[in-house]
Amino acid sequence: MARYGMLINTKKCVGCYACRVACQMVNSLAPEESFISFNELEQGSYPNVYAEVVPVQCMHCEDAPCEAVCPTHATYTTDSGVVLVDEGKCIGCKYCMAACPYGARVQIEETGVIEKCRFCWYEGEPGNPPRCVNTCISGARIFGDLDDPESEICREIARTNAQPLAGNLTAAKIYYVR
Amino acid sequence: MRCNPTRRTFLKGTAATAVLAAGGACSLGAWQREQAEAAGALTSGPSLCNGCSSKCGLVATTRDGRLWTVEGMEEHPYSKGTLCGRGHGTAQWAYSDGRLTQPMKRVEDGSFAPISWDDAFAEIGAKVQEIVAEAGPEALAIIQDPRPSGKYYSKRFMNALGSANVYTHAAACNLSKESGIEQATGAQNFSVDFANTKMVVFIGRSYGDAIRPSSVKSLAGAAAKGARVVIVDPRLNNTGVFATDWVPIKPGTDIALLLGIANVLVTRDLYDHEFVEQHAVGFPEFAAQVADYTPEWAEGICDVPAATIEELAESLAAAAPACAIEPSWRAAFGCAYQNSFETARCVCAVNALLGSWGQKGGALLTSSPKAGDLDPAKFPKVPAPASPRLGDEEYPLALSGTGTNLAVLNGCNDGAIQGVFFYNSNAVQGYAQPAKWREALAKAKLVVTIDVQMSETALESDYVLPECTVLERLELPEFIGGKKHYVALRTPVLERIHPETKPCDEIFAGLAEACGVGQYFPFTVEELADAQLASVGTSLDEVREAGIVELTDPEFAYGVPTFKTPTEKFQFTSEKVGTAGLNPVIGYVGRLVEPAEGEFFLVGGKQGIHSHTMTMNLEALNAISREYGLERLWMATSDAESLGIADGDTVEVESSEATGQVTVKVTERLKPGVLFLPTHYGSTSPYLTRAQGLGINMMDFVPLHLEPKVGSVMSQEVAVKVRKVEG
Amino acid sequence: MVWGPMIAWYLFLAGASAGAFLTAAFVEAKYPDSVKMRVAGRIIAPVFLGVGLIMLMLDAEAGLRNPLRFFYLVMNPGSVMTLGVYFICLFMPVSLVAALLEVLRRPVPKWLTWTGIVSAFCVAAYTGFLLGVVQAYPLWNNAILPVLFVVSALSAGLAATSLVGLVTDRERFEQMWLIKKSHVILSAIEMVVLATMLIIVSAGSVEGAASVASLVSGEYAPMFWGGLVLLGLVAPFAIEGWPVFITRKVETSTTSMVVSVIGEGGVLVGGFLLRLLVILAALPVVYL
C-alpha cells in the first residue's frame, strides 16, 4: 500500500496563489474558503534579507490530532495514509479545528462541515497529482509515495533534506524545503 | 450566437479531452457524491486564458455545462501545463456578479440606464457620423489593450471610418522599453536563453509578480542549474527566491548602474570586440561618452556601491556571452521615468558589449509568425486613413503599433478628438491620473466603452457595451513567436451566461454597420479565423480541436542575428533618435522628479493574482487581496521607525496631486526612502462592489506629464509625503 | 478563534449544572430542612445542562442541519468530547429524574444521588479536559485548567443554587454556614489556581505568554480584571468572607441581601467570563 505525501519547496514558491484558486475550483469552495493558507516570512534585515512564502495545508499526519479528537470518527485515515473527512458524520463541532497545530481545518459555510485538503481524493485514490501540484507554475510541489524509495518525492526529500514543519510532532506527511 | 459552442462540439471530444482521459486527470479532486454522480457530464475543451496579455493555453472542464476546473495546456509555450492564480481566477469571470449584462446608456442625471443593442448602435452611429461630418474622421480615436480579436477589429473599425487614431495601453505599460529596444536592435523585445545562461540581471522586473508560467519555469530551471540571478530593484520582489543577489537601487536610476557597468566593460577592455566592430554602429561615439560614467559616478546617482557595479561588470564579462540583462516589461522602465526609453537602450548596449546577442545563454531575437494575405473579395481592404495618427508628430518615438494613448487625453482637451472608443481598456483608472482623464473625456462628444464590467472608464462613457467573458467567446487566432512558431485559439467552452452580451467581433461589426462602414465587415469571425489559419497551413477545425498548432519551424539558430534597424546593425547611435531631438548616442538621462527632504520615492508594481485594475472585483482574487492585505503600502522598517509607524497602521499619502489613506506593511524588503504600492487598487466604481475603496490608486498621485518624444506616462515620476493617521 | 461565546456558554452551563447538583446533594446531607434550596439545585442541574446542550448544538452547524449525525458522537471513546457525551448521557437523565422526583415530592433514592454525584464530577472535569488536551493552545494545554474549571463549576453551581435560597428561603440560608464557608473557600482556591495557571502558561511558551498578556494587559484586560477578577472572584470572596470569617453574625438587612445577590451574581458572571476569556485569549503555537 502506498503512503502518500507531498513536498513543498519554498525556495521555488513565488506566492502566486495558483494552488489556492485551483483547489477552490476543484473543491467548489467559496472565494473566502481555502484549504491552503500562505505565510510570508522575512529573515534578516535590510539589505541582507531572505523572504519566503510558506504554503500550509493539511499535513495528512500519521498521528493526526484532528482525527484523535474527532468525536464522531468523521475524520479518518485511509489505508494509503490520506486523512479524510466523512461529510455524513461531521457535526461541525470544530474540535478538529482547535486540535490541528497547522490551522488546516476549514469550516465550509454552506454545509457547516469542517473540511480540509484531501489530496484531491476521489474514488479510492488521491489526485494524480492533486490540483495544487498540477498547477504549480514553478514546480515547487511534488506528490508521491513516501514508501517508494524510487519515487520522485523520496529522492527529492533525500536530496534536499526536506522536513515536516513541526519536526516529528504529528508525523506529518508534507515535507518542506526551506 | 457566436459565443455559444454547440453541444456537439463538446461531445465529440477534443484532443485535450483525450489527453485528460489518458492522464487520469478527469479523476482529480472531486469527492462529493454529487460530483461522482455528475462525472458523466464532464466535458473538456481548449481555450486561451485572458488573465493577462500572455494568453496562455488552458483546458477547461465543465460539469453539466458549468465551469469546474481549468488547467494549463501542456503544448502551449507560455503555460507549459500550468496556470497561475489569476488564470484560475479569471476563468471564473463568466459567473462574477460584477459583470455588465446589457448595454447601458448614460442618462441626464449622470446615472446609467439599460438600452437595447439596436438603439445603442443607432445612437452611437448617428453621433459618429455627426462628428465625422463636423470635424472629420481624425476626431475619432480608439484605445484598446490588445486581445486576439480586439486588436484586429478595433483597428479595422477605426480605419474604416477614416481615422488612424488607434492606440494601445502601451504608453502606460511597455512603450518606452519597446521603443528603446527597437532603436537599438530593430526588434521591440528579446528573450533571455535561460536554459543555457550563466548570469542574468533583472532590472525591476519580477517574474514572480508579473507572472507568465513559462518564464517562472525557465528562471527556476536556470537557478537550479546554478545560474547567477541578480535582481536590481528597490524592493526584494517575489522573484527573490531564485536570486543569488539583490541589488537595491534608487528608483529611476537603473540607467546609471547600466552605464557604470558599460564603463567598466569598455575601459577595462572586457567587451566583445568582434561584435562591436562587425555588428554594431556608433561604438566609438558610445565609448567616448561612456568614459565619463565611472562606477563612482554611478554610485553617486543610483546608490549602488561602485565595488558592486565593478563586480557585476566583471562577472558578466566572465560569463559572456552566456549572460544578459533581461529586457523587462513595464516594471522600472516600461513607462516609468523620463529616462525609461534611454534605460532600455542602455540594457541593449550592455548586452551588445557582452556580445550576448543571439548567443547561447544570451539575449535572443526570435521571429513571429503572422497570417498571410487574405482574399480581398471576402475580406475587403480598408483604405489607409488620410491623416496621420494624432500624437505621432509630437512623440515620434512612440511605436507604430501602439502610439501614445495620452494623445487622446490631450486631444479631448484641445478639441482635436471628439469621439473616443475604449475596448478592454480601463484607461481612466490606469493610464494616467484619473482626474485628468475624467476632465478630458467630459469634453468629448461621444465616449463608448466595450468591457465586461463597469470600469472607471465605463463610468465616464456615454454608452457602455457589454462583451461576453473570455471562455464564452471565439476570437481570432493568436500567433505566437519564439524559437518555435505556434497559432492558438480562444474558443468558447461555456454557453453564454447573459444573453444580452456579445463578443467583440459582433460589437464592432454592429458599430461599423451603424456608422455606415458595414461594407468592411461582411464576414463572420469564424470565416476570418478560418481564412487566417488557412494562410498559415492549418484550419479553424484543426486549431479548435487541438487548441494550439505548431507552425512551420522557423529554424532558429544561435549566432549574431540580423538586426532589423535602418543600418542592419546593432545601433549604439540612432539617427531616428537624433532626428527626434534626443541624443542619438546611448547615454545618460536623469529622472525628472527628485523627492525633497522628508519625501519618499513611490514605486508601483504588479501582484501575481491581478492584472492591471481589471481583476480587482473578481470574487476569488479579491478575496485573496482582502485576506492577505495585499493592498497595503510597503514601507522600510527604518523609515517606519523614524516616523513612528507600525505595521498595520493607516497612513496618509500626499503628492502634489492627491492625498489618500492606506494601511502600511512594514518590511525589511525595501530600500529606505522608497515606498512600494501595488498598482491594482483604489477602484472608485460603485458597480465594482468588492474592488471599490480597497486601497489607493497610484495614478491619482502622479502628475500628468509625458516622457519626451516617446509619450509614456512616466508613471513613477512622483514624490510623496507620508504621515501616520492617528486613531 | 475556533470557538466563541456559544461554547463559553455551554462550558459554563454544563459546569454550573454539575455544581448545582452537587450543591443539592450537599444541602440534602447537611441541611435536610432546606428543601427549597435542595429542590432549586436539583432543578437547576438539568435545566442548565439542557440549555447548554442547545448552545452546543447551535454551534455545531453541520449537526444542526443533520441532527441524526449527533448519534455518531459516541463513536470515538478516545476523544474527550465523546467521553463527555458518555458522562452527559448519564448525568442528564439522572439529574432530570432527580428533579422530577423532587417536583413530584417523592424521595430521591440514595443510589440515584450517588450516581448523579459521580457523573456530575465527571461532567465538570470533562469541560476542562475538553480544552486541556488540545496541544495547539498553551493556555488550554496544561494540567491546571481542568482543576480551575472544576473549582469554578462548583462555585458557579453553588452560587446559582444559593441565589435561589437567598431569595426564597433567606432565613434558613443565612444559617447555612458550611455552604457560605465553602463559597468563600472555593473563591479563594479559584484565585490561587487561576494565578498559578497564568504564571505557568506565561512562562511556558511565547504563544502562552502572548495569551496571558492579552488577558492581563492586552485587549481582554478590562474583561479580565473588571469582570472575572473583581466581580467574579474578589467581590464574592469579600462579600461572603466578611460575615463568615470576620463579623461572624447572621445578616438580615435588605442591604446585606442586595450585596449578597451581587456576590452570587458576580460568581455566575465570573464563571462565564472565565470560560469566554480562556476561549478567546488562547493563541495557537505556530509552526513555520
Confidence at residue B13, expressed as pLDDT on a 0 to 100 scale: 35
Confidence at residue C171, expressed as pLDDT on a 0 to 100 scale: 84
**How far is the alpha carbon of A125 from chain C, nearest alpha carbon, in Å?**
25
In chain A, where are the structural domains located? 4-177
Higher pLDDT, A85 or C33: A85
Q: What pairs with residue B324 in β-bridges? A: B200
Q: What residue has cell string 474592488?
A: B691
**How far is the alpha carbon of B537 from chain A, nearest alpha carbon, in Å?**
32
Confidence at residue B30, expressed as pLDDT on a 0 to 100 scale: 39
Q: Which residue among B70, B91, B217 sits closest to A138, beta carbon to beta carbon? A: B217
Residues on chain A bordering chain C, Cβ-to-Cβ distance under 8 angstroms:
39, 41, 54, 56, 65, 68-74, 87-95, 97-103, 107, 111-114, 165-166, 169
Has residue A56 got a pLDDT over 90?
Answer: yes
In chain C, where are the structural domains located? 5-281
Within 8 A by CB and 6+ apart from B442, the residues are: B460
Query: CB distance from A86 to chain B under 8 Å?
Result: no
At B393-447, the pLDDT tens digits run 999 999 999 999 999 999 999 999 999 999 999 999 999 999 999 999 999 999 9
The residue of chain A nearest to residue B28, with distances taken between CA atoms, is A127
Contact across the interface for B623 and A32, Cβ inside 8 Å: yes
Is C182 in contact with C273 (CB distance < 8 Å)?
no
Q: What residue has cell string 536590481?
A: B232
d(CA A148, CA B486): 39
Contact across the interface for B27 and A28, Cβ inside 8 Å: no
Q: Which residues of A touch B624 (CB under 8 A)?
A: 17, 20-21
Q: Which residues of A touch C2 (CB under 8 A)?
A: 94, 97-98
At A125-135, the pLDDT tens digits run 999 999 999 99
Q: Which long-range contacts (CB under 8 A, 24 or more apart) does C61-67 make?
A: C61/A92, C61/A107, C61/A112, C62/A87, C62/A90, C62/A91, C62/A92, C62/A111, C62/A112, C62/A113, C62/A114, C63/A90, C63/A91, C63/A92, C63/A93, C63/A112, C64/A92, C64/A112, C65/A111, C65/A112, C66/A88, C66/A91
Region of poorest pLDDT, from A43-57, B9-23, C234-248 = B9-23
| CATH code for the domain defined by C5-281 | 1.20.1630.10
CB neighbourhood size of B53 (10 A): 16
What is the average per-residue pLDDT within B103-127?
Answer: 97
Contact across the interface for A99 and C136, Cβ inside 8 Å: yes
- Chains in contact with C, where contact means 3 or more Cβ–Cβ distances below 8 Å, are A
The residue of chain A nearest to residue B37, with distances taken between CA atoms, is A123
Contact across the interface for C63 and A169, Cβ inside 8 Å: no
**How far is the alpha carbon of A82 from chain C, nearest alpha carbon, in Å?**
19
Has residue A154 got a pLDDT over 60?
Answer: yes
Is B55 in contact with B150 (CB distance < 8 Å)?
no
Confidence at residue B474, expressed as pLDDT on a 0 to 100 scale: 97
**How far is the alpha carbon of C202 from chain A, nearest alpha carbon, in Å?**
19
Query: CB distance from B30 to chain A under 8 Å?
Result: yes
Has residue A122 got a pLDDT over 90?
Answer: no
Q: Which residue among B67, B85, B209 sits closest to A21, beta carbon to beta carbon? A: B85
Contact across the interface for A135 and B25, Cβ inside 8 Å: no
Confidence at residue C251, expressed as pLDDT on a 0 to 100 scale: 75
pLDDT band for position B8 (cuts 50, 70, 90): very low
pLDDT band for position B41 (cuts 50, 70, 90): confident
Contact across the interface for A46 and B92, Cβ inside 8 Å: no
Q: Which residues of B touch A177 (CB under 8 A)?
A: none
CATH class belonging to A4-177: alpha beta
**How far is the alpha carbon of B75 from chain A, nearest alpha carbon, in Å?**
14
| Residuewise pLDDT in 10s, chain C (288 residues) | 799 999 999 999 999 999 999 999 999 999 998 999 999 999 999 999 999 999 999 999 999 999 999 999 999 999 999 999 999 999 999 999 999 999 999 999 999 999 999 999 999 999 999 999 999 999 999 999 999 999 999 999 999 999 998 888 888 888 888 988 999 999 999 999 999 999 999 999 999 999 999 999 999 999 999 999 999 999 999 998 888 788 877 777 888 889 989 999 999 999 999 999 999 999 999 998
CA distances, B27 to each of B40, B42, B385, B537 (Å): 11, 10, 55, 36
At B192-213, the pLDDT tens digits run 999 999 999 999 999 999 999 9
Task: Convert B517-546 to b/e letters by CB count within 10 Å (16 or more is b).
Answer: beebbebebeebbbbbbeebebebeebbbb
Is B198 in contact with B322 (CB distance < 8 Å)?
yes
What is the average per-residue pLDDT within B361-376?
Answer: 96
Q: Which three cell numbers stand for residue C204?
A: 511556558
Within 8 A by CB and 6+ apart from C245, the residues are: C184
Confidence at residue C255, expressed as pLDDT on a 0 to 100 scale: 87
Contact across the interface for B620 and A45, Cβ inside 8 Å: no
Q: Give the length of chain A.
A: 178
pLDDT band for position B610 (cuts 50, 70, 90): very high
**How far is the alpha carbon of C119 from chain A, nearest alpha carbon, in Å?**
19
d(CA B223, CA B219): 6
Query: CB distance from B627 to chain A under 8 Å?
Result: yes
d(CA B313, CA B288): 18
Q: Quick one: how far is CA A52 from the chain centroid?
A: 18
Contact flag for B and C (3+ C-beta pairs < 8 Å): no
**How far is the alpha carbon of A160 from chain B, nearest alpha carbon, in Å?**
12
pLDDT band for position B26 (cuts 50, 70, 90): very low
Across all residues in chain B, what is the average pLDDT? 94
Q: Which residues of C touch A54 (CB under 8 A)?
A: 288
Q: Which residue among A34, A125, A138 sits closest to B216, beta carbon to beta carbon? A: A138
Within 8 A by CB and 6+ apart from B141, the residues are: B158, B163, B165, B166, B167, B390, B407, B408, B411, B417, B419, B420, B421
What is the average per-residue pLDDT within B702-723?
Answer: 98
Contact flag for B and A (3+ C-beta pairs < 8 Å): yes
d(CA B170, CA C105): 90
Confidence at residue B38, expressed as pLDDT on a 0 to 100 scale: 52
Query: CB distance from A41 to chain B under 8 Å?
Result: no
Contact across the interface for A18 and B82, Cβ inside 8 Å: yes
d(CA B339, CA B346): 10
**How far is the alpha carbon of A31 from chain B, nearest alpha carbon, in Å?**
4
CA distances, C69 to each of A89, B174, B315, C90 (Å): 6, 59, 68, 20
Q: Which residue among A38, A122, A130 sits closest to B628, beta carbon to beta carbon? A: A38
Q: Is B166 helix (H, G, I), strand (E, B) or coil?
A: strand
Pick from A72, A105, A168 the residue to mutate for testing the C interface (most C CBs within 10 Å). Answer: A72
Taken in order of first residue, the domains within chain B and their CATH numbers are 104-172+392-482+491-535 (3.40.50.740), 186-367+562-580 (3.40.228.10), 600-724 (2.40.40.20)
The residue of chain A nearest to residue C140, with distances taken between CA atoms, is A98
Q: Which residues of A touch B67 (CB under 8 A)?
A: 25
Query: CB distance from B220 to chain A under 8 Å?
Result: yes
Contact across the interface for B668 and A50, Cβ inside 8 Å: no
Amino acid at B277: E
Q: Which residues of B touch A136 (CB under 8 A)?
A: 82
CB neighbourhood size of C200 (10 A): 15
Query: CB distance from A73 to chain B under 8 Å?
Result: no
Q: Which residues of A touch B248 (CB under 8 A)?
A: 46-47
Q: Which residue among A68, A98, A103 sits closest to C3, beta carbon to beta carbon? A: A98
Has residue B138 got a pLDDT over 60?
Answer: yes
